[in-house]
Amino acid sequence: KMDFDENHFFREATKRICGSLDIETAAEQGLHFLKDFIPADGVHVARFDPELGALRVYANIRLDGGKRLNKILPMPPEAWPLFGWPDDELIRINNQPEKTIITQTIAKALGKQDCSQLVMHVRRIGEKPYSLGSFALWANGRDQYSKEHARLLSLLNEPVAIAMSNCLKHQEILRLKEMLSDDYQYLHREFLRISGDEIVGKDFGLRGVMDMVRKVAPLDSPVLLLGETGVGKEVVANVIHTMSQRRTGPYIRVNCGAIPEYLVDSELFGHERGAFTGAISRKRGRFERAHGGTILLDEIGELTLSAQVRLLRVLQHKEIERVGSTKYVPVDIRTIAATHQNLEAMVLSKSFREDLFYRLNVFPILIPPLRERKVDIPALVHHFINRKSKDMGLHRPLDLDPGSLDQFMDYDWPGNVRELENMVERALIKCMDGRLVFENMAFPFQKDEISIKSEKDNEVQKLDEVMSLYIQRILKIANGKINGPGGAAELLGVHPNTLRKRMIRLGIPYGRRR
């Protein structure tokens, strides 16, 4: 059997050893081929783990179906130094198992008192050679292996190294994929617990909204959520996703007002490597990431007209084109859009495309402001107290001071639910060591401050004039601050970018100009 073509031997052995990413299958295919050229009743692929003081057995095949090695095979301490192979040693011939503690331990684990072992030290050859472990054949009886057998096996070091490397990387990918799936399931359960199990006010002020949500959620129809800033449009969008058939798919939220104009196409649709300066690799856009799930386009009215054209194509043809590419990528998504703006008025003013509006306005849901559903305020207050107390690590929620709810019910909440949440959080921060009171916490503006009069009480002012005076009053309360806690944007319940754009339009200076 030793009279053969070495090239044919190498080629056929490589085809079998590298023919599968499953290391057990690759080892079995290699064993069935090699046994016709080298004595072999079994094979095992392993690596010594110095931290465990044991062999990690990745593959273990024997032809007689007998006892196999454990996945973790402990080695006696006196055997540990023997795993340090010299760089010039590739093959070890062990024809008598009792000669070394390693072969003796393996023979005992196999249930073979007399067996010969031919062990190859598997190394990747390259700029940085490194050891992958060992590829060992064994045969019944003593003195089964010769130097010629060792030479034949040494011919296969590189294909065995490639196969082992690929198989181990594949195992790692499968392990990480399993971990990712487990993490996804956990986060999905948490998502359902936090936002999907209940919505405060669903049986009272938001009953009509929830009736509409239940009707549209199981479908794939686009939904347009309308309402003032801070009413909870994102919460309603979460509920639509969790009640839909896509609830196990991705849920991607896009704040259209927070993306710089020059990055809109790249963020939404992705880009190819080299599409522009700084594009060092291909990037998937938000729509591509939402494939098989739901995408929430928050503040849809802030999109530029050029981006609206691209968005319209996605909604019409269910496909996107990455920046720098000429190929179209199909996407399967359910679209939910949200805005606090009057899109119909924007269509009339030519700042929003009419065809896009009708694409989005398939099933509009108007979420009422908090002042129109004050019946929900007590439940919302207690909900925020419990949630914020938990976030702050308080042992138990603070008791609400009597009369506070009356104060809340008398207020009109221009910032809606978000303003109420911020008010509760501020009170908790100030009253961590006692009863939750609001006596010394003046609201950002009282009712009598909301009515802005001109010099003549009966003079009718234009809306922009009233809005300008109102924003300037809030800026004064916030000491000119726009962003962050206590800033004008938070007090008004709007996004800072939205407020800045409105101030620019109204000619209100801010920052250094102020």
Query: Cα 292 vs. chain centroid, distance in angstroms?
Result: 14
CB 406 within 8 A of CB 440: no
Whether the CA torsion 5, 9, 12, 14 is positive or negative: it is negative
Reported as half-sphere exposure (CB side, CA atoms, 13 A), residue 512 has a value of 0
Residue of 486 and 270 predicted with greater confidence: 270
Reported as half-sphere exposure (CB side, CA atoms, 13 A), residue 208 has a value of 8
Q: What's the pTM?
A: 0.56
CA 156/CA 251 separation, integer angstroms: 49
321 three-state secondary structure: strand
Using CB atoms within 10 A of its CB, is residue 30 exposed (0-12), middle (13-18) or buried (19+)? buried
**Highest mean pLDDT (candidates 194-198, 212-216, 449-453):** 212-216
- Angle, vertex CA 161, rays to CA 160 and CA 164, nearest 5: 85
Q: Give the pLDDT score at 340.
A: 93
Q: What integer is the mean pLDDT of 138-166? A: 91
Whether the CA torsion 464, 465, 469, 475 is positive or negative: it is positive
pLDDT band at 260 (very low <50, low <70, confident <90, very high): confident
Whether the CA torsion 428, 433, 438, 442 is positive or negative: it is negative
CB 69 within 8 A of CB 105: no
502 three-state secondary structure: helix
Q: How confident is the model over 185-202, as pLDDT tens digits?
A: 666 655 555 554 457 777
CB 314 within 8 A of CB 260: no
Q: How confident is the model over 369-396, as pLDDT tens digits?
A: 998 998 888 888 888 888 888 878 777 7
> Do strands 223-226 and 363-366 pair parallel, antiparallel, or not at all (unpaired)?
parallel
Kindly write down the DSSP assignment for every residue of 359-402, as one continuous string: HHTTEEEEPPPGGG-GGGHHHHHHHHHHHHHHHTT-SSPPPBPT
CB 291 within 8 A of CB 285: no
**DSSP secondary structure code for residue 276 in this structure:** S
Task: Name the residue among 383, 445, 481, 419 with its Cα closest to residue 229.
Answer: 419
Structure tokens at 398: 């603070």
pLDDT band at 128 (very low <50, low <70, confident <90, very high): low
Structure tokens at 415: 């910032």
Residue located via tokens 């399993």: 178
